[in-house]
Amino acid sequence: MGASSLDVRFYSIETNKRAKGNSYTVRWKVAYKKHSKTYKKSAVADDERSKLMTAHREREPFDVELGLPVSWLSKAAEVNWFQFLVEYVDWKWPSAAGNTRKNMAKALTAATIALLGTPPPAHFEPVKVRTALREYAFNVNRRSDPDQPVPDEVQTILDWIKRNSLPMRALEKTENVDKVVKALGARLDGKKAAASSVTRNDRIMNLVMGYAIRHNYLKANPFPKGKGERAAAKVAPAIDKRCLLNRDLVKKMLDWIGKRPRRGRLYRAFFATLYFAGLRPEEAVGLRVGDAALPETGWGEFLVHEAQPEVGSQWTDTGEVHEGRDLKGRGEGDTRTVPIHPTLVAILLEIIKEYDLKPADLLFPGEKGGMLAGSVFRRVWAKARKEVLSDHEFNTPTGKRVYDLRHTCLTTWLNSGIPAAQVAEWAGNSVPVLLAIYARCIIGQRDDYLKRTEGVQDLPEVAA
């Protein structure tokens, strides 16, 4: 902690007149150093000034550099940013899902590097510094595994970071907050990160700051919403219409995949399930044979009751690559039924017979009997796309992601006139979310809507 003083002088609150609304600046001086802080509301400025004056009347020493009562800074001065984040991760880890853990580690890695008092030594390769933080410091499983201790090289890097991380009180300075904001809004190559990534990092950092405030590391969140670079990130809820596939293109791609040697027909059945039933990939990989009612003719039905997102073995409590979760947006143990198109029924019956699958078996088993790996089915889809699409189509967003098969299915249902409430039920979405995502893709109903309003909006003839 720096020098402190009882010599504190307060000035009148300064009103700043601006076109977008007034702001109010609290001004004071500790010893020789002037301080100020600006607020949007006069009541808040009055309250903060009163708190400072109360501390001064009670003869509390003020930190000269930061301008705040020493008692406000004691905990923030004792613990640095890196130590605090390790504490936060240890607290958050048990209740967090695998993907949450992984995203948290990525965000905190960038923030930690931004708040180092000095750049890492030249012999610490940047990729190794990031790996040490992401895969060990912010991964409780690997950091505390008694059977596989943290490697010496990694521990050396983490010890250096612990010694050189700035104290928590450094977040009282705007320039340090700006460094973190910049780091969380950029990719490794320095280019601007995707809006969805910035929004996710923003949410993670606000949760971290909430913990810091509750445990008296900070008095207020230094990352206010709606300011600076973080306010510029806007995530478009609607999907890009260009990513959708037409029926003929889907048939060509499924036919090409089905003709691949060894497991082609199984991959064809997996992708057909996304196209005909609109399941999420993580829902499809977790399906068991017994979850599908498959009559010899006509429509069948899926009973979907779990998702198996692929998050990586180092992020799950079981050590498995996939993590079993309840359905997205549903209550614990909830299920949903989804109709199975007759064409898909025939495809599924074919692979059940070919692979001699029993009711308890996975409907789409991986090569070694486990769950189908995302890296595998994404690679198969990428090859099909390259082989089937024209050069022009390949260079567009058309079917670029496996998830686009689900988008195509849900759009087809909506354009067929199926009520949004029914589509939302089958898809596992709420109606508002469904319409926000697919509003731009609903076509073919415009003329009907215009005819409905034509007579209603006519004005009665006015007598001469």
Reported as a single tens digit per residue, the pLDDT across 192-201 is 888 888 889 9
The tokens of 164 are what? 């050189």
- Burial, 460: exposed, middle or buried (Cβ in 10 Å; 0-12, 13-18, 19+)? exposed
CB atoms within 10 A of CB 180: 22
pLDDT in tens, 433-445: 888 888 766 665 5
pLDDT in tens, 288-324: 999 999 999 999 999 998 888 787 878 887 778 777 7
Segments making up each domain of the chain, as ranges: 4-64, 79-232, 241-441
Say whether 86 sits in a helix, a strand or coil: helix
Report whether CATH 1.10.443.10 matches the domain 241-441: yes
Q: What is the percent of the chain with per-residue pLDDT over 90, rounded to a whole number?
A: 52
Name the β-bridge partners of 25: 14, 38
Whether the per-residue pLDDT at 228 is higher than 50: the answer is: no
Pairing of β 14-16 and β 23-30: antiparallel
C-alpha distances in Å from residue 100, one per residue of 103, 200, 316, 426, 444: 5, 10, 10, 26, 40
Mention every residue, 6+ apart, whose C-beta is less than 8 A from residue 223.
177, 180, 181, 202, 205, 206, 209, 230
Residue 77: per-residue pLDDT: 64
Residue 196: per-residue pLDDT: 81
Say whether 321 sits in a helix, a strand or coil: coil
Whether the per-residue pLDDT at 231 is higher than 50: the answer is: no
Give the residue-averaged pLDDT of 325-332: 66
pLDDT in tens, 238-292: 778 889 899 999 999 999 999 998 899 999 999 999 999 999 999 999 999 999 9
Give the residue-averaged pLDDT of 449-459: 59
Q: What is the percent of the chain with per-residue pLDDT over 70, rounded to a whole number?
A: 88
DSSP code per residue over 88-146: HHHHHGGGS-HHHHHHHHHHHHHHHHHTBSSPPPTTS-HHHHHHHIIIIIT-HHHHT-T
Place of tokens 């997102």: 309
**Selection from 73-87, 110-124, 330-344 with the highest mean pLDDT:** 110-124
pLDDT in tens, 333-380: 678 999 999 999 999 999 999 999 999 999 999 888 888 998 999 999
Residue-wise over 2-32: b if at least 16 C-beta within 10 A, else e? eebeeebeeeeeeeeeeeeeebbebbbbbee
- Burial, 83: exposed, middle or buried (Cβ in 10 Å; 0-12, 13-18, 19+)? middle
Residue 421: per-residue pLDDT: 92
